Structure 1
Amino acid sequence: MSDNPLTTLASRGEDQQSATYEAGCHCGYVKFAVTLAPPLPEHQVVQCNCSACVRFGYLLVYPEAKDVVWHNNGRARCANYQFNTKQLDQMFCPKCGASLGIDLRERMTPHRYAISARAFYGLDLDELTYKKVDGREKAVPAGDHSGHCWDEEKQEMK
């Protein structure tokens, strides 16, 4: 990973290394940088089986908000989708539709993002270490919530 020009390695603390990765949507309308410690591919990427992660293709890392730098007001450029408890913003590019991750501001202190590793530029997904999580059964409320947010009669989101 260190030979990637879009990645910057740095020392964080005594022995902990970090790396900063450029990321964004497919069309380039939303761009940001993410600093992770440890750097990829030593970092564990969460592969969750909940309905959102499966449908949106999320492979997640969880940086603190201070370690995510949004370029050109990128966070404000994101379209947001909320479902189920309506407490989390699923972030998307409104131009190309790329899934970027989840804003966990209401759920985690300090504020964190769940950023999809698929949004990182120049990343080889086969080089990553995955941690499988059973979000379908462990997330509250449990179950598959796909296809249950749109009220066809009212023509609106539930």
Structure 2
Amino acid sequence: MSDTKPPTQTYKASCHCGAFAYDVTTAPLNHEGTEVVRCNCSICTRNGYLLIYVPDDAVTFTSGAFEDLKSYTFATHSVAHYFCASCGSSCMARSIRPGFFEGMKVVNVRLFEDLELDKLKFKEMDGRSYTKESAEARVAEIEREKEVREAL
């Protein structure tokens, strides 16, 4: 195991009207092995989500507060999708089901400042076909990927 931590970068993000602004610290999005999730489920498609998974403490609000974002849940009510009530920007999502992506936020990189979307590497996710069982399998896969990254 290497003692070298992977590089990090802090991205500035905000909703369209600026009521909510926040910094997101994560691996550089152009870093080898970093992928942005492009999901085809109904809410991701409608909201235009391009997502990264980060620990809760990787997101620091500089204007507004997470608790003041409005939320929407549907279907199994496992995930809350957070948006600005003023401009409607879809900011992020977070699991509200115990044991399912606990301690993580799923952040929409489309709200990042000065991000060149055409330079990103995408991972396609077939959310349209998800069932509870396939979601649990994806959680296990993400945990394994996280362990591998931390071991580097």
Q: Aligned to 2:20, which of 30, 42, 52?
A: 30
Q: Secondary structure at the match of 1:103?
A: strand
Moved more, 27-36 or 68-77: 68-77
Aligned to 1:108: 101
How far did residue 138 of structure 1 move? 2.4
Higher RCO structure (Cα 8 Å, ≥6 apart): 2
Q: Which runs of 5+ in 2 are unaligned?
A: 135-152
Q: 1:116 to 1:82 in 2, by over 3 A?
A: same
2:55 to 60, 64, 72: 64
Which has the larger Rg? 1
Cα drift, residue 80 of structure 1 = 0.6
Instruction: Give the drift of 1:72.
Output: 3.5
Distance 1:139 1:28 in 2: 36
Unaligned runs of 5+ in 1: 1-12, 143-158
Q: Which has the higher helix share?
A: 2
Aligned match of 2:30: 41
Q: Deviations over 1:106-154 (max 9, x none)?
A: 3213x00110110111111111110001111124399xxxxxxxxxxxx
Distance 1:24 1:118 in 2: 9
**Alpha carbon RMSD of aligned pairs, Å?**
1.8
Deviation of residue 60 (structure 1)? 0.4
TM-score by length of 1: 0.75
Q: Percent identity?
A: 34
